[in-house]
Structure 1
Amino acid sequence: MTDLVDAMPKLPASPVLAAAPHRIGIVSLVVHNLDAVSRFYEDTIGLKVIERCGGTARLGTGSTILLELVHDPAARRRSPREVGLFHTAFLLPSRADLGAWIAFASEQRIAVHGASDHAVSEAVYLSDPESNGIEIYADRPAGQWPVTQAGYDMPSDPLDIQSVFEAAGGRRWNGFPNSGIVGHVHLQVGAIAPAETFYRDLLGFDITCRYPGGSFFGSGGYHHQLAANIWNSRNASPRQDAVTGLSCFELLARDRSVVDDAAVRLRAASVATTPLEGGFAVQDPWGTRVLLRTA
């Protein structure tokens, strides 16, 4: 991933997420067909091509890059059973925006493969042309997020699509809103315990919810900026070669102390890091590269 400090995502509309110690920056995917995948994110998700250089396309809103696509025709096609990306979750500013996108998707006959009411949010699921998972979602107000002794209650109930559609009030979809961001990244991993050790104990997230075979990691009270599951990838090995799909993602820290504290914990655990401007890069236990740096 290119160093894109000047193109960091703006603060999200959600006060909880904006104030959190961590949020998601740029997500980088390796693809075989750069033109087809780029066009999908333009036409279906509503992102704009901000920069294209050689075999790399960077898309987002305004001058803010959210997604990087790297062309590598030699990369092996990732199996759905392997570690990597479960989905990239694009957070819309409001329920009305989600309703407008649902109306647009219906008009354009965009194939979706799921829709859920998670109590903390409402979401629709689909995939890009190379089977990279995507979530389009809108948060409910934070005061409405149901809390249990174990954390947030995030069920996967049926989505009331008609209600969300009506929330748009006839608003037309005009592309991904400028205040939209990548709200979270959901990973496929080989085992839950090492994922919790890495993302909670070393990077500093809280576990906000557990499903059978899945853990959700939040920061600063947000329901989750990261998640990891073994639903398709139980006991999968770390990546060994160039493969399509998720290459790396950024975690943007609110201040330098968040980065420094994580670096201390990683050193104590003998986990190698690579210096970057404003922070460092590190690999999780399955070879996914995480770039932790100040926003």
Structure 2
Amino acid sequence: MPDSIDPAARIGRVTLAVADLDATIAFYRDVVGLAVRERDDERAVLGTDADALLVLEADADAGPRPADAAGLFHTAFLFPSRAALGDALGRARDAGAHLTGASDHLVSEAVYLRDPEGNGVELYRDRPRDEWPGTDDRVEMDTRRLDVDALLADRAGDADGAGDPAPGGTTVGHVHLEVTDLDAAEAFFGEALGFAVRQRMGTAALFVAAGGYHHHVGLNTWNGRTAPVSGRGLRSFEVVVPDEAALEAVLGRLPEATVDDTAAGAATVAAPDGFAVRLVVE
């Protein structure tokens, strides 16, 4: 479809504003398993040996996210195998991190936590695509109990340890946002950016993706947010496209007023509720 985003599009780096840079780095290093690739007093970049996945920016002036503000529901880190997800769960256990959930979503298995700043974090692995229930146009996801003991038993690390840090192939699989207006969010992420709707959950949640994935962006109004993004938390996230032609195709669908700045191979656009989306060429 000419108005669809390139099927190779994916989520790139997520940028968070935080109050305590040291504590937040420690969480994403010791629990998620990310390596610290760059670090100074104001900023850190974490990821795998191959890819930068997360940027943390210290912001002492920004207050906490207001209770009614739109913002991040969670950043979802996708591990390349069930064993690697088991290692991540082992790291969380050994660090004393509190799980906020553990679910079998039919297409994936996931555990949920919060970082020291209160930002939601999902750690997950995908089942093979040919096992996903649904049709070519829609995917069926559910929330069922996950056996965390079985997941721990399948980890790659030794019985007395949580195994290695996040392996190569770990990515940001998706981001999930809390929005104030689901119709406005669908118009932007679906019609303008060109992601396909993969599942609706009534009138309160929507999941969109490129290339037949189950979702690259989740959108929900479950907690009744009524105000735009403000305070600490999500600053921006990247949507990575394969080439300049794919970038220009997306920009051509966007209202001029939404494009904040452009550079060679990149553009920052303003989504509803004040979310900043950075479009970048691979």
Provide TM-score, normalisation by structure 1. Answer: 0.87
For residue 252 of structure 1, the aligned residue among 225, 236, 240 is 240
Aligned residues: 273
Contact 1:198 1:284 in 2 (8 A): yes
Contact 1:78 1:244 in 2 (8 A): yes
Q: What is the one-letter code of the residue matched to 2:170?
A: G
SS at match of 1:96: helix
Moved more, 62-71 or 280-289: 62-71
SS at match of 1:130: coil
Q: What is the one-letter code of the residue matched to 1:261?
A: A
Moved more, 190-199 or 97-106: 97-106
Match of 2:124 in 1: 137
Q: What is the one-letter code of the residue matched to 2:176?
A: H
For residue 144 of structure 2, the aligned residue among 157, 161, 173 is 157
Match of 1:86 in 2: 73
Equivalent-residue separation in structure 2 for 1:274 and 1:221 (angstroms): 30
Match of 2:181 in 1: 191
Q: CA RMSD in A?
A: 1.8
Contact 2:90 2:152 in 1 (8 A): yes
Q: What is the one-letter code of the residue matched to 2:217?
A: L
Contact 1:52 1:58 in 2 (8 A): yes
Distance 1:196 1:280, change over 3 A: same
For residue 252 of structure 2, the aligned residue among 240, 258, 264 is 264
Match of 1:221 in 2: 212
Equivalent-residue separation in structure 1 for 2:41 and 2:92 (angstroms): 31
Match of 1:203 in 2: 193
Contact 1:83 1:233 in 2 (8 A): no
Match of 2:165 in 1: 175
SS at match of 2:258: coil
Deviation string, structure 1 residues 4-49 (Cα, Å, up to 9, x no partner): xxxxxxxxxxxxxxx9431111100000111111111111111111
Equivalent-residue separation in structure 1 for 2:152 and 2:178 (angstroms): 31
1:73-112 equivalences in 2 (<5 Å)? 73-112=60-99
Query: Are 2:40 and 1:49 aligned?
Result: no
Contact 2:190 2:208 in 1 (8 A): yes
Distance 1:286 1:177, change over 3 A: same
- Shift of residue 158, structure 1, vs aligned partner: 0.7
1:226-241 equivalences in 2 (<5 Å)? 226-234=217-225, 236-239=226-229
Match of 1:276 in 2: 263
Match of 1:14 in 2: none
- Structure 2 portions without partners, runs of 5+: 1-5
SS at match of 1:173: coil
SS at match of 1:90: strand
Q: What is the one-letter code of the residue matched to 1:221?
A: G
- Shift of residue 149, structure 1, vs aligned partner: 7.9
Contact 1:62 1:178 in 2 (8 A): yes
Q: What is the one-letter code of the residue matched to 2:194?
A: G
Contact 2:74 2:176 in 1 (8 A): yes
Equivalent-residue separation in structure 2 for 1:248 and 1:280 (angstroms): 12
Equivalent-residue separation in structure 2 for 1:105 and 1:57 (angstroms): 21
Percent identity over the alignment is: 40
Distance 1:263 1:182, change over 3 A: same
Equivalent-residue separation in structure 2 for 1:276 and 1:123 (angstroms): 36
Equivalent-residue separation in structure 2 for 1:170 and 1:281 (angstroms): 40
Provide TM-score, normalisation by structure 2. Answer: 0.91
Match of 1:10 in 2: none
Equivalent-residue separation in structure 2 for 1:122 and 1:270 (angstroms): 39
Match of 1:5 in 2: none
Equivalent-residue separation in structure 1 for 2:196 and 2:247 (angstroms): 16
Contact 1:88 1:135 in 2 (8 A): yes
1:9-48 equivalences in 2 (<5 Å)? 20-48=7-35
SS at match of 2:16: strand
Contact 1:76 1:244 in 2 (8 A): yes
- Shift of residue 100, structure 1, vs aligned partner: 2.3
Moved more, 108-117 or 164-173: 164-173
Contact 1:30 1:71 in 2 (8 A): yes
Equivalent-residue separation in structure 2 for 1:291 and 1:272 (angstroms): 10
Deviation string, structure 1 residues 121-165 (Cα, Å, up to 9, x no partner): 000000000100000000000100000486111001111223323
Moved more, 61-70 or 101-110: 101-110
- Structure 1 runs (4+) deviating above 4 angstroms are 169-172
- Structure 1 portions without partners, runs of 5+: 1-18
